[in-house]
Amino acid sequence: MVQVRSIFGVLPFVVAASAAALQSRQGAAKQVVQLASLENIAVRPNGQILATNMNSPNLYAVDPTAGTSSTAVVVTGATGLSGVREVTPDVFAVIGGKSIYKVDFTGDTPVSTLVKEITEARNLNGLSSFDDDTVLVADAGGGKVYRFSISTGEYSVVLEDATMAPSGAIPFGIDGVLHVDGVVWYTNIFKNSFHKVAVDETGKATGAYETIWTNLMGDDLCVGPNGLIYVATNGPNTVVEVDPAAGQPSVIAQVRGATACAFGRTESDANVIYVSGAQGIFSATV
């Protein structure tokens, strides 16, 4: 048994494949800042890291150079935050409950605005940018993906498959979602699985839903400047690197309760992966 520090707290959970069973090339990551139970992260153009917690409406800002944190903005109307992704330069979409908020950093002071609530959603969690106006939103409780317009609030289901369906005592299925070059990659956290599907310009599937693995827990994910996919594994306490062509994961960092990842955006940290987890934000050079 492994004590999994998940989005639900600390849960006993059997992890089908341990990190020790995977190819590994790196050890523990370096702690950037200590913050409890982070759920997701994104990086601003100026290099600051944004971080969310599912039990707080605060969108945190972390300076990775100074190792300090502060509250960038309080997302009014939300009781907790999960997915966060940049839509246009320094403008971010943030999930708060069943609602999508826009947080705009382009002015002198960051501004948070409610865009719209997806009333029929069960448990929104994963978030990916899709184009300069829309995001893909994973409904972990409903086992589907919405395409959502930040400018209008219009949304519709574009992806739904058995591989996204929730399972277990806590009904939670598709977790992380990532759109890269016409392919949507996603995890199903409690099925210990990782998948992909090709999509068109509307976000709808153009081919079969493919399974990459079914023996390793996956939470949120990110893409590196090298074109490789990185998956935070949560319970196994690692981050794995995946070559899209091969699909075989290899451990690149150890982070307790790793929940999400994002790459640096300045010249000095472009090859640095930042990872959120149970005890804060950590970094590793890729």
User: Please, which pLDDT band fits residue 13 given cuts at 50, 70 and 90?
Assistant: very low
What does the buried/exposed string (b/e) look like for 252-272 if buried means 16 or more CB atoms within 10 Å of the residue's CB? bbbbbbbbbbbbbbeeebeeb
Q: What does the pLDDT read at residue 8?
A: 40
Counting the structural domains of the chain, the total is 1
The confidence band for 169, taking pLDDT boundaries of 50, 70 and 90, is: confident
Q: pTM of this prediction?
A: 0.92
Mean pLDDT of the region 80-93: 98
Instruction: Report pLDDT digits (tens) over 188-230.
Output: 999 999 999 999 999 999 999 999 999 999 999 999 999 999 9
- Integer Cα distance of 15 and 170 in angstroms: 16
Task: Specify if 9 maps to a domain.
Answer: no
Query: CA-based angle 284:15:85, to the nearest 5?
Result: 45
* pLDDT band of 53, cuts 50, 70, 90: very high
Tell me whether residue 174 is in a domain: yes
Arithmetic mean of pLDDT over the chain:
92
Q: What is the domain-level CATH number for residue 238?
A: 2.120.10.30
Residue 12 has pLDDT above 80, yes or no: no
Q: Are 260 and 217 in contact (CB under 8 A)?
A: no
Residue with tokens 């149970």: 278
Q: Are strands 58-63 and 68-74 parallel, antiparallel or unpaired?
A: antiparallel
* Phi-psi map region of 214: left, alpha, beta (phi>0 left; psi -120 to 50 alpha): alpha
Q: Is residue 3 part of a domain?
A: no
Q: What is the pLDDT of residue 58?
A: 98
Kindly state whether residue 236 falls inside one of the protein's structural domains. yes
Look at residue 260 and tell me if it is in a domain: yes
Structural domain includes residue 10: no
Mean per-residue pLDDT, 113-130: 98
Handedness of CA 279, 238, 187, 178 (dihedral sign): positive
Tell me if residue 88 falls in helix, strand or coil: strand
203 conformational bin, left if phi > 0, alpha if psi -120 to 50, beta if neither? left
Residue 14 — pLDDT band, cuts 50, 70, 90? very low
Q: What is the mean pLDDT of residues 20-46?
A: 83
Burial 119-145 (b: 16+ CB within 10 A, else e): eebbbbbbbbbbeeebbbbbbbbbbbb
Residue numbers of the domain that contains 65: 21-285
Q: Amino acid identity, residue 278?
A: A
User: What confidence score (pLDDT) does residue 1 get?
Assistant: 24
- pLDDT beyond 80 at 148: yes
Express each pLDDT in 269-286 by its tens digit: 999 999 999 999 999 999
Q: Give the model's pLDDT for residue 62.
A: 98
In a domain, 7, yes or no: no
- Please indicate, yes or no, if residue 15 is contained in any of the structural domains: no
Reading across the β-sheet that carries 58-63, which strands appear in turn? Answer: 40-43, 49-52, 58-63, 68-74
